Structure 1
Amino acid sequence: MNELDNENVVSSNDLGPVGADPDYTRPDWWNDDGTKGTFQDNYTARKRVFPDGQCVVTVTKDKNYLGPAQTKLRAKRGESEERERNEEDAGQRAKQKVRDCCKAISADRMVTLTYRDNMTDRDKALKDWKAFCRRLGKVKKFHYVAVIEEQERGALHFHVAVRGKQSYVLLRSIWQRVVGLGSSGEQMGQVNVRDPHRLGFGVKGGHKLAAYIAKYCGKDVDCRELNGKRYFRSRGIVLPEVQYWRLPNCTCMLCAVHEAFRLIEGHCMEGLDTWCNNALGIVYLASAPGLVDPDYCPF
């Protein structure tokens, strides 16, 4: 297949709602053999648009099992032979959820809550965190996405993604009141508010902040128990629905990249975040906030 054939294939893909034509036919050169009891390749496009204009598009190469479902006995929680793999999958899902929540609230600043001493008691830290949110909620209403980080020496502290300018005096006074004083009367809690400029975010600020917060949701969170939460978020965060399409005419990663850029047309290309992995069969595009000016021409 030459480049012209690829262009014709991409333009022929129907990006209408799923279910409009469930009995679509694959092209003759599709690489699936239809053998039962095997996994068949299929490309799926997903698109989510956030209130501030941010758009996230993914095109993934999904593997569908052709044949009856394979059933097996379900192990007790924590006793599965594939526990490590399950933990990794759960960590990836949590990372995606955190990134989506950060984009949903248009987070552009990070608040860090720390302890003066080497706090290693997770239960005590979570109790302080709940008290902090409860007291702050009586003063102001705000949306947040928070994670707990454990340093190499075991010290715990919180990273909180928020939107807009924060009152440093208010946050510090509440956190220090929750944590209390030391034996010598010194303050045992500290607060650091980092704005986009100090973080070096620039145009890709939202992407970097969301990725920075999400990285602490991986499976290697030693301070978290089996049923422990990987992240915390305020109530009322509404995630936009995901639109998705099957791409029967998409058979290679080049087609997948073309489809991804077609779907993100009309959104801000400045500060576009891109990621592509041929081995995993994933194309990821994330735009910055705002829509493209219809009179703007990049050429």
Structure 2
Amino acid sequence: MDFTSVARDGDAQKPDWWQGDRTRGAWQDTYTARKRVYPDGQCVVTVTKDKSFVGPAITRPRARRGESENREASEEVSARRAKQKVRDCCKAISADRMVTLTYRENMLDRDRAAKHFKAFCRRLGKVKKFHYVAVIEQQERGALHFHIAVRGRQCYALLRSIWQRVVGLGPDGQQMGQANVRDPHSFGFGVKGAHRLASYISKYCGKVMDCRDLNEKRYFRSRGIVLPELQYWRLPNCTCMLDAVHAAFRMIEGHAMENLDTWCNNALGVVYLATAPGMPCDLEYPF
């Protein structure tokens, strides 16, 4: 299979199966493959069926932030992008544990909670190198708490003492904060922990939160997280979902196939493959 990009200009570059008159304007199904390899050897491949417009572009005036008539649709797009970013960041730091910071009180003030979290990260950063990806969960009663994806064993006593020092004491001298750490085994992450933890953390980015304004962040992450380069190709010879599945499996050849995480949805036109950590073999793709 040839993984060369399909040129956007020039009828001579169109594959034989491409139909439609460029001058008239038409929508065509195209398949796009994306691949990202993370530092610990994880490889994530997606092949998606996209709608591509053939012909002159339709331009529309761009609304100001928050003034779009399709506010709900824009929020959904923003949520999907944030969820993808969180998953990528979790895998980039090889996160395998989750820290949860909670309040004894019914914390409803998002700005105050964000200041507490910032102070927690600053104090912990003075003690150890702390790479994290964090989200805020709002319970049905409105209470806020933090879920933080981290890598490696954590000192529970250290995390708890710093968080309790930041939050402070209650009127009767009781501790108003608590910290919990869930490792891969107790939380059920298992061998596929990197994928499951990333999915668990990212799902909170898509939830509607009454406490979050338009310009406020959906997630937080430490500085210095570098995402691996995303490779992508147009698949001109891919005409059906079966071809998409074959292409996806060819792209992960050489990576750890044990405990492979797979997902395919014909209705949505998506093929998703994610390998377990493990360095790939030095193979050249004979596409």
TM-score band by shorter chain is over 0.9
Q: 2:46 aligns with which of 58, 73, 89?
A: 58
- Equivalent positions of 1:227-242 (< 5 A) are 227-242=215-230
Aligned match of 2:108: 120
Aligned match of 1:251: 239
Which amino acid letter does the alignment assign opposite residue 211 of structure 1?
S
Distance (whole Å) between structure 1 residues aligned to residue 15 and residue 4 of structure 2? 17
Which amino acid letter does the alignment assign opposite residue 159 of structure 2?
L
C-alpha distance 17-249 of structure 1, shift in aligned 2 (>3 A): closer
Partner secondary structure for residue 213 of structure 1: helix
Number of corresponding residues: 278
Distance (whole Å) between structure 1 residues aligned to residue 246 and residue 4 of structure 2? 16
Which amino acid letter does the alignment assign opposite residue 32 of structure 1?
Q
In the TM superposition, what whole-angstrom CA distance separates every residue of 1:117-146 from its partner, at most 9, and x where no partner exists?
100110110010111111111111121000
C-alpha distance 266-293 of structure 1, shift in aligned 2 (>3 A): closer
C-alpha distance 238-18 of structure 1, shift in aligned 2 (>3 A): farther
Aligned residues of 2:4 and 2:234 also touching (Cα < 8 A): no
Poorly superposed stretches of 4+, deviation over 6 Å: none
Deviation at 1:87, TM superposition (A): 0.3
Distance (whole Å) between structure 2 residues aligned to residue 278 and residue 233 of structure 1? 34
Q: Which runs of 5+ in 1 are unaligned?
A: 1-12, 295-299
Aligned match of 2:285: none
Which amino acid letter does the alignment assign opposite residue 26 of structure 1?
P
Distance (whole Å) between structure 2 residues aligned to residue 17 and residue 120 of structure 1? 50
Partner secondary structure for residue 78 of structure 2: helix
Deviation at 1:15, TM superposition (A): 2.9
Aligned match of 1:183: 171
Distance (whole Å) between structure 1 residues aligned to residue 140 and residue 247 of structure 2? 43
Distance (whole Å) between structure 2 residues aligned to residue 117 and residue 68 of structure 1? 57
Question: Normalized against structure 1, the TM-score is what?
Answer: 0.89
Distance (whole Å) between structure 1 residues aligned to residue 255 and residue 164 of structure 2? 43
Aligned match of 1:5: none
Percent identical: 74
Aligned residues of 1:34 and 1:40 also touching (Cα < 8 A): no
Provide the alpha-carbon RMSD of the alignment: 1.8
Deviation at 1:201, TM superposition (A): 1.1
Distance (whole Å) between structure 1 residues aligned to residue 2 and residue 205 of structure 2? 36
C-alpha distance 17-106 of structure 1, shift in aligned 2 (>3 A): farther
Deviation at 1:292, TM superposition (A): 6.2
Q: Which runs of 5+ in 2 are unaligned?
A: 283-287
In the TM superposition, what whole-angstrom CA distance separates every residue of 1:138-196 from its partner, at most 9, and x where no partner exists?
11112100000000010000000000000111111100000000011000000000000
In the TM superposition, what whole-angstrom CA distance separates every residue of 1:98-135 from its partner, at most 9, and x where no partner exists?
00000000000000000001001101100101111111
Which amino acid letter does the alignment assign opposite residue 191 of structure 1?
A
Aligned match of 2:152: 164
Q: 1:198 aligns with which of 183, 186, 191?
A: 186
Deviation at 1:291, TM superposition (A): 3.5
C-alpha distance 50-293 of structure 1, shift in aligned 2 (>3 A): closer
Q: 1:145 aligns with which of 113, 133, 140?
A: 133
Distance (whole Å) between structure 2 residues aligned to residue 293 and residue 75 of structure 1? 48
C-alpha distance 18-186 of structure 1, shift in aligned 2 (>3 A): farther
Aligned match of 2:262: 274
- Equivalent positions of 1:41-56 (< 5 A) are 41-56=29-44
C-alpha distance 72-25 of structure 1, shift in aligned 2 (>3 A): closer
Q: 1:217 aligns with which of 181, 205, 210?
A: 205
Partner secondary structure for residue 266 of structure 1: coil
Deviation at 1:283, TM superposition (A): 0.6
Partner secondary structure for residue 202 of structure 2: helix
In the TM superposition, what whole-angstrom CA distance separates every residue of 1:48-107 from its partner, at most 9, and x where no partner exists?
001100000010111111222212222222121111001001100100000000000000
Distance (whole Å) between structure 1 residues aligned to residue 93 and residue 192 of structure 2? 16
Q: Does 1:33 align with 2:4?
A: no
